Structure 1
Amino acid sequence: MPIILMEILQMFVFLLPENSGDRVSFSVTILLSIAVYLTIVSEQIPKSSEPAISVLAIKLFADLCIGCVVQVFVIISQYTYTREKPEKREVQEIEKVNCCDPKIWAQKKDWTAIAYCLDITFAMVAVCAMLASNLYLFGSFM
């Protein structure tokens, strides 16, 4: 199905380099393609189908919501990456809740290390949401 390919492409946004400006535009493009696909599919579904809302329409709407969340994740990660060097107080606060790999944090101690860790965390959350969406779709056919 094309929607699964779009979901996989959407997860690749976290593999793009942080310093390129293409992350946000790539994510928006995938989000718009899911919205267009949702529109096309909703026009093809009969108006008097049982149940009133098809499983595919629910899944596409869930994918659209996941795409919006991924877009927010990309913007937060991009914002974190482009921040200037943290002050000493900020470094101490970050070290209290540091979820980064200690090797990465020891090397950089700046916002790029935090952005890298956010990317990993956001990618895992997005992949889990995508898998849940697909399990819902395929589980409804069994």
Structure 2
Amino acid sequence: MHIFFKQNKQLSKEDIHVQIESMEYTDNIKQLEQYITHFNQKQLMISSEGRYYTIDVTDILYVDVLGDFSTIHLKEHSLTYRKSLSQLEKELPKQHFERISRYSLINLSAIKHIDNSLSGNMSVQLINHETLTISRRYWKNVKERLLNHD
């Protein structure tokens, strides 16, 4: 496989054009297309309380779970969704979200600041002034992601 970058000044900063060339359409090509589509995902379709919602993933602050239900906390309100956190984690773009505990995912862009807490965990304040706990088990991954997050 060969990958190369070609600058195109006719495109806007937000536009990216990807072209895949191969002798034939294979399962690897299909997986690559799915990965690229998922990487660039900007919206999530969910069903909550009998209604369907299209959510911009940038509006999601964090997700937590209780049993089989995940609660998606948005900037303005929250929605309950009948999916496990693991299933939802697979649907959300990995470049924006990181697990902070067994029960929570956080949008890295929603973090205002992080402090040490008395329990040895870390305390994260979000842009909406809510405070969540980052468990010690997940702190290393969160820290690495934040240091490398654009």
Interval containing the TM-score (normalised by the shorter chain): under 0.3
TM-score between both structures, scaled by the size of structure 2: 0.27
Higher strand share: 2
Higher helix share: 1
Higher relative contact order (CA 8 A, sep 6+): 1
